[in-house]
Amino acid sequence: MKKAFLVMVLVALLATTTLFAAGQQEAAKPKVTVFWALYDGLTEEYRQNLQDAFMKEYPNIELDIVPIPWDQVYDKLTTSLAGGNPPELSVIGTRWILELLALDAVEPVDKWVSKTTLDNIFDGTKEAFINGQLWGLPVAAGARILAINNTLTKKVPATMEEMRTEALRIKNATGKYGLIMPGKKHTELTDFAYYLYSAGGDFFEINADGSYGKCIINNAAGVKALTYMVDVANKDKSVPAGYLSQTRMESHPVFYAGDAGYVMIGAWVDSALKQAGASFDVTYAQIPPFAGAKPAPLVITDSIAIFSGAKNKKEAGLFLDFFYRDEWKAKFDELIGFPPVTKSAATLPQFQSPLYQALNEAAAVAKPWPLIEGFAEMSDVIWDAVSMAYLGQKTPKQALDDAAKQVDAIKATYE
């Protein structure tokens, strides 16, 4: 009996030792933790398959893709940073990059990601490119396009001037609206950016080192853009009569209802039209430039960043190279309904619908927001200038001159 008991003890000790050794071996594996934002359409099956496939190809690396609701990502990330335990990777709103840089929390991705991967990504989607370095890869990017209600017009305008003429014709001939133009101040400045970029303008001068110089919204391009907006709204009256009380979300349903000819909009337009029960045919085209300027649609992105305090940055780079292969990144883009950010995926059959063709074409020449501290405050000032011009309280030139001075003053407080 005693002998049998001793044998059982020895077996138990051997099993414990074996399990401990296995655990030590497992613990020795470098671990890559990814904070994985949950987009609409993104499935758990996809996440699990991606994780399993990576660990099958790289059996010596442990991968933990942690699904997090989008509205909780920022809090979870900042908590992990404050606790000194950052993930190797996290999806972020690209606008967070400046805050993360101020904390010295992120690494340039080109330090860890292959040149092959970087070269395959459209330059126009690399919104996290700051001061000559790329601080995050675009994970979801949407350039803006022009949607055209074919019941009211089949004209694809080559210039902003042509669109204004056709918008006026639509109003006069049909009694409908020619163009959607949100006029109520809201959190996004997209509708000014559409016209500013289309006129060849920008928000700031770009210094030789890639940093931002003085505000230039009041130059000839900016004045042309705002003058156009005021004239279309107040002289032509081609926009909804209540445009001054409409945000983007409030104005777009007018187009979905078939009551406007043109709208500048993002990738969600197709699903929004279906949800609204729209029955009219739509053409997707490029936001036209002003005569003499080049197309430059606005693009808005989310990114994925590598964190400087993480332990396994080299392995994180390997995961990004894996994830950005067409097999995985193209499927990701398809699930969330965004156009692909990679050149190779843009040629795949599933992205050849008229909507995706327009989005891909826009992505190739798209232009992002300026990534500058205090831009939300600056946007508020510019919105005020646009509003005053709409209301006739100032000329477009006066409004933008005053706004540019205020923006430069705000900028100076961050320098």
Model pLDDT for residues 232-244, shown as the tens digit of each residue: 999 999 999 999 9
Predicted pLDDT at 27: 55
**Tens digits of residue pLDDT in 241-290:** 999 999 888 999 999 999 999 999 988 888 789 888 999 999 999 999 99
Task: Count CB-CB contacts under 10 A for residue 95.
Answer: 17
What average pLDDT does the segment 12-41 reach?
67
Torsion of CA 79, 82, 87, 92, to 10 degrees: 60
pLDDT (tens digit, 9 = 90+) per residue, 158-179? Answer: 999 999 999 999 999 999 999 9
The percent of residues in the chain predicted with pLDDT above 90, rounded, is: 71
Strand 260-265, strand 177-179: pairing: parallel
Beta bridge pairs of residue 147: 263, 284
Across the chain, mean pLDDT equals: 91
Q: What is the pLDDT of residue 163?
A: 98
Q: 3-state class of 338 per DSSP? A: coil
Q: Are 63 and 55 spatial neighbours (Cβ–Cβ below 8 Å)?
A: yes
What residue ranges in 242-291 does DSSP mark as E strands?
A: 260-265, 282-285
User: DSSP code of 337?
Assistant: T
Confidence of residue 8 (pLDDT cuts 50, 70, 90): very low
Same fold for the pair 21-142+300-359 and 145-296+373-413: yes
Predicted pLDDT at 229: 98
- Rounded to 5°, angle at Cα 236 from 231 and 240: 100
E strands, 29-85, where? Answer: 31-38, 62-69
Report the range of poorest mean pLDDT among 24-28, 93-97, 152-156, 316-320.
24-28
Domain locations in the chain?
Answer: 21-142+300-359, 145-296+373-413
Average pLDDT score over residue span 132-141:
93
The 8-class DSSP code of residue 35 comes to E
Task: Please give the structure tokens belonging to residue 224.
Answer: 């042309």
Give the pLDDT band of residue 371 (cuts 50, 70, 90): confident
Q: Which tokens sit at 41?
A: 């359409």
Q: Nearest-CA neighbor of 366 among 116, 121, 160? A: 121
Q: Reply yes or no on whether the pLDDT at 19 is more than 90.
A: no
Best-predicted range by mean pLDDT among 16-20, 67-71, 269-273, 391-395? 391-395
Binning the chain into helix, strand and coil, the percentages to the nearest 5 are: 50, 20, 35
pLDDT score, position 6: 37
CATH assignment of 145-296+373-413? 3.40.190.10
- Strand 137-143 to 298-307 pairing: antiparallel
The correct answer on CATH 3.40.640.10 for the domain covering 21-142+300-359 is no
User: What is the predicted pLDDT for the residue at 300?
Assistant: 83
Instruction: State the Cα–Cα distance between residues 291 and 288, nearest whole angstrom.
Output: 9
For residue 192, pLDDT beyond 80: yes
Residue 14 has pLDDT above 80, yes or no: no
Tokens (6 digits) for 24? 């030590």
One-letter identity of residue 47: R
Contact predicate 257/120, CB 8 Å: no
- Dump pLDDT digits (tens) for 70-127: 878 989 999 999 999 999 999 998 988 988 998 999 999 999 999 999 999 998 788 8
Task: Please give the average per-residue pLDDT across 378-400, as a whole number.
Answer: 97
| pLDDT value, residue 387 | 97
Assess whether pLDDT exceeds 80 at residue 1. no
User: Is pLDDT at 193 greater than 80 in this prediction?
Assistant: yes
